[in-house]
Structure 1
Amino acid sequence: MYTTINEEGILNNYATEPQTYYAVYPSTEQQSRYAFQGAVATLLVTALVLFASGIS
């Protein structure tokens, strides 16, 4: 941790910054998994909305 002291004696603590990196494009397997998760989430939300509207 990096610490400085100003003229009034107040400490300023700075967190260490993490090392940055570039994101990599997802593979075709990951893309299909994301599409499947999106479809399941869409079906779940649609079912919940229909169920809630059916009850009320």
Structure 2
Amino acid sequence: MPYTTEEGGRLNNFAREPKVYTAEPPTDRQKQNYIILGITAAILVGGLIFVAFSVSNVS
């Protein structure tokens, strides 16, 4: 662990820095999966909203 000594003899402990790497652009397969997941999420949210309105108007 990297320690530094400050005034008065106090030790200061710094966190270890993570390795830095460059992000890679998504592959065509990953893009396709993002689209499928987005459509699925939109359908689920739309279904939840539909059910909420259906239940709230029952009286």
Taking only the aligned residue pairs, the percentage that are identical comes to 39
Q: Distance in 1 between matches of 2:9 and 2:55?
A: 64
SS at match of 2:8: coil
1:24 aligns with 2:21: no
Where does the alignment leave 5 or more consecutive residues of structure 1 unmatched?
A: none
d(CA) in 2 for partners of 1:10, 1:47: 60
The alpha-carbon distance between structure 1 residues 11 and 54, as it changes in their structure 2 partners (threshold 3 A), is: farther
The structure richer in strand per residue is 1
Q: List runs of 5+ in structure 2 lacking aligned partners.
A: none
In structure 1, C-alpha distance between the alignment counterparts of 2:22 and 2:3, rounded to whole Å: 29
CA RMSD of aligned residues (A): 1.3
| TM value normalised by structure 1 | 0.82
Structure 1 residues 10 and 49: CA distance shift in structure 2, 3 A? farther
Normalised by the size of structure 2, how large is the TM-score? 0.79
1:14-43 per-residue CA deviation (whole Å, 9 max, x = no partner) reads 111111111111111111011000100111
- The residue type paired with residue 39 of structure 1 is I
Structure with higher Rg: it is 2
